[in-house]
Amino acid sequence: MKTIISSDQAPAAVGPYSQAVEANGFLFISGQIPIDPSTGLVVEGDISIQTEQVMENIGAILDEAGYSYKDVVKCTCLLEDMENFKAMNTVYSKYFITEQPARAAFGVVKLPLGVMIEIEAIAAKA
């Protein structure tokens, strides 16, 4: 059985997908981009500002589903420029202080709406 998770504290899906799906004790969070849920617009600023918004969006979805950052077991980070990796990592590390999740990071040609970063996450309940 699966449950669709949706939070009004995170941006609405911009396509035919759910913000997150919970199934068998796992929460699969769709790739989040730096959209401010209060305006529906991409936040202006550098990679640090955009990463902060992405992490806040992930946090809102985790909270809606009854999970926390401590429950995240895997993230995938997509960057439009790998030169931004260090700055992204600085912000990302504020959210995963101990017991960091597994992670992959990729440089990609282009992301939706011209953003600099997209992050998807998987969380699990013990």
pLDDT tens sequence across 59-101:
999 999 999 999 999 999 999 999 999 999 999 999 999 889 9
2-124 has CATH 3.20.20.10 classification: no
Per-residue pLDDT, 62: 98
Q: What are phi and psi of 34, to 5 degrees?
A: -80, 65
CB atoms within 10 A of CB 86: 9
**pLDDT band of 13, cuts 50, 70, 90:** confident
Per-residue pLDDT, 10: 96
Is residue 113 over pLDDT 90?
yes
CA-CA distance, 36 to 25, in Å (whole number)? Answer: 28
Pairing of strands 20-23, 26-32: antiparallel
3-state secondary structure of 15: coil
pLDDT digits (tens, 9 = 90+) for 20-60: 999 999 999 999 999 999 999 999 999 999 999 999 999 99
Per-residue pLDDT, 14: 76
Q: Which residue has the tokens 């669709």?
A: 4
Sequence spans of domains, the chain: 2-124
Partners of 23 in the β-ladder: 2, 26
